[in-house]
């Protein structure tokens, strides 16, 4: 009976084997984070010096290297490479690794973590503005790349540098969560945080999970079209061997099941396809494992020399639970051979480090069954499943990328280059200019005051800005910008958003920046007091966030920060010409960490609707002159069609003058209004 059952399972395995890796092709069902970055969010890197943590796995769906991708971006400089375990090529052994060296072809520094350099130094980050991460891990908590990610997140936080993680699939999918949760005393290079063996998270989601303790300035560029249930074979991507012992997907999938033998009297062979040890009867071992009903796998008895064991034939990778299978494998092996369990001698054993706890060894010593072992950590696993929800990006429906995923730190961190705007809680005006939660006397939480490093862009740069939209003409503006591959900044009025959400979503997806421009744009309302302005701006920003899923990091004052019209509407009981409301508003906004940007060139459409495309172009030509950086004020509204008509000629003129085009962000110095 046993033999017949085994033959049946073998036939199933033959008919439903894991597909081969194949070569690179443009048949991927998803877009990787590095491709989404290239297609939609290049403005995050423009004008920046980049440090890149990557290795041979950092490629797009065609096999092109992320190193080359970054080097080819105009106005971006790749200043340093950072390598995880096994080096840039994924083949460098520990005794071959160097702390740092100069890349022979790129002539830039390459930094590696090794026994002598266990953590990056601030000096390594001194010449970079943005730290980029593109790594493919194995889906296991024991992946050494997770420790690298964790350590570099800490180092980037300490150096005050933003981190952008380019997301990649979890090879085992996002559904299976299994194994004991790592306890703090057992943190190591093969277990850096409180995760189960199978965590079911992508590297971008893991970065967010890690950041709950770290507080780095983190941005994740998600994958397009990815779902939680997708395994690597569903993506259409070719597997690039992540470490020397994981040459193919078969090894990746079985490694967690057969790889829990470190420090235990068992071995694995054939890249985790076989597991066994001395004193084990192969047939008995396979019988125990097969009748345990472990899904997706058949265990074939196979003796290697003096060691009995089994070969894992995984016939359904979707059903296969690698962590649970591994725990059953060591529990049954111990019941058959009664191995001496490794004992701690003042420091955790390698076996305990792999499991993340000493409780499994203690249970084995008491001859606990596999069922008892799995039951022992079930409450902690359930708690983890609840905890991880807030850090997940993907669901059961294909992910549509509308914006980068900004991870807001919950612990103190240094000043940030890309500081995500933090939405204050709803507030009501008060005579003091402060705000309170409705129904209480408790001040509402506001974004912390932050000193944003200001980096002056190199060369001649033009920032095209459009105020007051979205409007019926916004799509025409977007069409022109798309044709010329130009990115711009739209300062949006909140009351204009409803019914035009898709227009804003398109603008963001095409790489443009969305800034706030208050909700009402009503001078009489907003320029009464600082609290009145703040409440109106926050309401407008909320409308923007509801539409595109991300809050603005910059805003523009209606009329500009040096306007005098505010004098007409300010609360005369508190403010005067000698003590104007604008000064109080700007002081309040600066204290709360909001960042505004004016302009130094206008096309003349602000003061009248009676103008022509020719006059708009002429205004730009006259005001640009020899300025190195120009922020051009234009308006996005139905009466402003001459602005749209003049836009192609404005772009062509600026190109002829040698300007490149960028979008505004919080790290661009405020440009004063020209009086």
> Quick one: DSSP state of residue 644?
H
Residues near 362 by beta carbon (within 8 Å), at least 6 away in sequence = none
Closest CA to 197 of 170, 210, 173, 179: 179
pLDDT at residue 94, as a whole number:
62
Report pLDDT for 27. 63
User: What does DSSP assign to residue 179?
Assistant: S
Please state, as a whole number, how many other Cβ atoms lie within 10 Å of the Cβ of residue 293: 7
Residue 525 in tokens: 């309302």
pLDDT at 347: 80
Contact between residue 483 and residue 477 where contact means Cβ atoms under 8 Å apart: no
* Alpha-carbon torsion (141, 144, 148, 151), positive or negative: positive
- The angle subtended at Cα 153 by Cα 350 and Cα 56, nearest 5°, is 75
346 within 8 A of 285, measured Cβ to Cβ: no
Q: What is the largest CA-CA distance in the chain?
A: 98
Neighbours of 532 (CB within 10 A): 20
What is the pLDDT, as a whole number, of residue 230? 92
436 forms beta bridges with 428, 443
Contact 100/109 with Cβ under 8 angstroms?
yes
Overall residue count recorded for the chain in this entry: 675
CA-based nearest residue to 224, from 355, 394, 361: 394
- Walk along the chain (675 residues) in steps of 10 and give the mean pLDDT of each run: 46 42 63 93 91 96 94 91 90 72 93 71 92 96 93 94 97 94 92 95 97 94 94 92 91 91 84 94 97 96 96 94 96 92 78 92 94 97 95 92 76 34 32 34 34 53 95 95 94 94 93 94 92 93 92 92 90 91 92 89 84 92 90 93 95 95 78 44
**Number of alpha carbons in the 13 Å side-chain half-sphere of residue 28:** 25
pTM higher than the cut 0.75: no
* Per-residue b or e along 445-461, where b marks 16 or more CB atoms closer than 10 Å to that residue's CB: ebbeebebeeeebeebb
What is the rounded CA–CA span in Å between residue 320 and residue 246? 18
Contact 635, 468 (CB under 8 A): yes
CA 62 to chain CA mean position, Å: 21
Q: How far apart are CA 204 and CA 407, in angstroms?
A: 10
Q: What is the pLDDT of residue 254?
A: 94
């Amino acid at each position: 009976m046993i033999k017949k059952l085994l033959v049946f399972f073998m036939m199933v395995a033959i008919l439903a084997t894991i597909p081969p890796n194949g070569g690179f092709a443009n048949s991927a069902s998803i877009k990787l984070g590095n491709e989404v970055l290239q297609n939609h969010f290049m403005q995050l890197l423009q004008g920046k010096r980049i440090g890149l943590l990557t290795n041979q796995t950092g490629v797009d769906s065609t096999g092109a290297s992320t190193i080359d991708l970054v080097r080819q971006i105009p106005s971006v400089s790749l200043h340093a490479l950072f390598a995880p375990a096994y080096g840039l090529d994924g083949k460098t052994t520990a005794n071959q690794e160097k702390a740092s060296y100069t890349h022979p072809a790129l002539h830039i520094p390459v930094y590696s973590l090794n026994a002598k350099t266990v953590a990056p130094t601030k000096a390594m980050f001194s010449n970079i503005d943005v730290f980029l991460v593109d790594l493919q891990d194995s889906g296991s908590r024991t992946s050494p790349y997770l420790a690298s990610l964790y350590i570099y997140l800490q180092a980037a936080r300490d150096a005050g540098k933003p981190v952008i993680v380019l997301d990649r699939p979890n090879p085992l999918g996002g559904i299976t969560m299994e194994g004991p949760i790592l306890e703090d005393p057992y943190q190591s290079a093969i277990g850096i945080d409180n995760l189960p063996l199978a965590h079911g998270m992508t590297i971008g989601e893991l970065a967010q999970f890690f950041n709950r303790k770290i507080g780095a300035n983190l941005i994740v560029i998600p994958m397009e079209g990815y779902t939680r249930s997708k395994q690597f074979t569903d993506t259409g991507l070719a597997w690039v061997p992540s470490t020397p012992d994981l040459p193919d997907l078969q090894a990746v999938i079985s490694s967690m099941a057969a790889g829990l033998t470190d420090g235990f009297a068992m071995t694995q062979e054939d890249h985790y396809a076989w597991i066994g040890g001395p004193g084990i009867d192969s047939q008995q071992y396979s019988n125990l494992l097969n009748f345990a009903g472990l899904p997706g796998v058949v265990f074939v008895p196979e003796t290697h020399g003096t060691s009995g064991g089994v070969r894992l034939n995984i016939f359904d990778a979707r059903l296969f639970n690698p962590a649970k299978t591994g725990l059953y494998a060591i529990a049954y092996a111990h019941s058959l051979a009664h191995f001496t369990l490794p004992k701690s001698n003042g420091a955790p054993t390698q076996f305990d480090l792999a499991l993340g706890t000493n409780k499994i060894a203690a249970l084995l010593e008491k001859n606990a069954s596999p069922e008892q072992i799995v039951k022992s950590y079930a409450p902690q696993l359930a708690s983890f499943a609840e905890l991880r929800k807030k850090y997940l990006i993907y669901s059961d429906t294909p992910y549509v990328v509308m914006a980068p995923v900004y991870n807001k730190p919950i612990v103190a961190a240094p000043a940030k280059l890309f500081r995500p705007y933090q939405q204050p809680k709803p507030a009501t005006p008060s005579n003091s200019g402060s705000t309170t939660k409705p129904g209480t006397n408790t001040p509402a939480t506001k974004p912390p005051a932050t000193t944003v490093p200001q980096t002056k862009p190199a060369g001649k740069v033009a920032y095209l800005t459009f105020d007051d939209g979205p409007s019926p003409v916004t799509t025409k503006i977007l069409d022109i910008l798309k044709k010329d591959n130009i990115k711009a900044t739209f300062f949006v009025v909140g009351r204009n958003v409803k019914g035009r959400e898709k227009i804003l979503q398109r603008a963001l997806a095409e790489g443009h920046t969305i800034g706030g421009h208050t909700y009402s744009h009503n001078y009489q309302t907003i320029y009464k007091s600082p609290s009145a302005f703040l409440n109106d701006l926050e309401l407008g920003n909320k409308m923007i966030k509801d539409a595109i899923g991300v809050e603005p990091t910059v805003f523009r004052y209606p009329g500009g920060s040096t306007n005098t019209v505010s004098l007409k509407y300010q609360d005369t009981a508190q403010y005067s010409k000698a003590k104007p409301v604008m000064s109080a508003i700007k002081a309040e906004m600066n204290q709360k960490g909001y960042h505004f940007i004016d302009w130094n060139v206008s096309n003349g459409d602000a003061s009248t609707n009676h103008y022509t495309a020719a006059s708009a172009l002429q205004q730009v030509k006259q005001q640009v002159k020899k300025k190195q950086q120009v922020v051009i004020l234009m308006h996005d509204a139905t009466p402003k069609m001459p602005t749209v008509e003049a836009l192609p000629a404005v772009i062509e003129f600026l190109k002829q003058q040698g300007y490149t085009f960028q979008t505004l962000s919080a790290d661009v110095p405020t440009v004063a209004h020209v009086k």
